[in-house]
Amino acid sequence: MAKVSFPLSEVYCLIEPGPVILMTTVRNGKANIMAQSWHTMMEFEPPLMGCIVSDRNHSYSTLQATGECVINIPSVELAEKVVGCGNTTGAEIDKFEKFRLTPESAARVEAPLVKECFASLECKVVDTSMVDHYGLFVLEVVAAWLDHDMKNHETIHHLGHGNFMIAGRNIHLRSKAK
C-alpha cells in the first residue's frame, strides 16, 4: 500500500463531492489532525481550495503561523477515528497516537500525510484576507497523492448531529462540465 502522485488538474474530482477531510498541520514538531467539512474548490489549476477554520480550533493558529497543511481524505473504514479526531483537541492529546493514525512525510510541506487516508493533498496558504472575518483560508494544492491499492474510496459526508452519509453508487451522464 503506497500513495502515488496524482495530477493536480484532477484534484477537483476528489474535493467537489464534499467529503469530510482530515486537515493535518505541524508546529514545533507537534502534528495535529482536524476533521472538517467546510471546504470548496475555488480554481481548477493550479488547484485552489477554500477552507473554513474557526479560531476556536487548535489548528487555527498553526495554520496561520506555518501557512501549510495537508488535506487527507478518509474512507468509511476510518469513520470512528474521524469522529474521534472531531471530538478531541490537539491542545490536550496527540491525535496520531490516540487514534493510531500514521504520519508520513510530505514532499512540499512540513505537515504530515495521514497514511490510512486514500488521498492526501499538500497545501500552502496563499490568501489570508478573509481569515479574520470568516476563518476562510485560501489554499493552493502543491502536491497530490492517491493510493490506488486501497480499493474502497467510500467517502464520509457530514449531515450534522452525528449522522453521516456514506458515498453510494456512481452513475455516468453526458456532462460537458470538467
The residues of the shown chain that bind its own copies, judged by CB under 8 A, are: 10, 12-13, 16-19, 35, 37-43, 48, 50, 52, 76, 79-80, 83, 86-87, 129-130, 134-136, 138, 154-155, 157-178
Instruction: Report the distance separating Cα 156 and Cα 82, nearest Å.
Output: 9
47 three-state secondary structure:
coil
Smallest separation (angstroms) from its own copies to the CB of 5? 18
Minimum CB–partner distance for residue 153 and its own copies (Å):
10
Q: Count of CB atoms within 10 A of residue 49's CB? A: 22
Cis status, amide bond into 17, omega within 30 of 0? no
Nearest distance from residue 104's CB to its own copies, in Å?
Answer: 25
Q: Which is nearer to its own copies, 107 or 165 (CB)?
A: 165
Decide if 112 contacts 26 (C-beta within 8 A).
Answer: yes
Residues 104, 66 contacting (CB under 8 angstroms)? no
Of 51 and 70, which has the nearer Cβ to its own copies?
Answer: 51
- 14 or 106: whose CB is closer to its own copies? 14
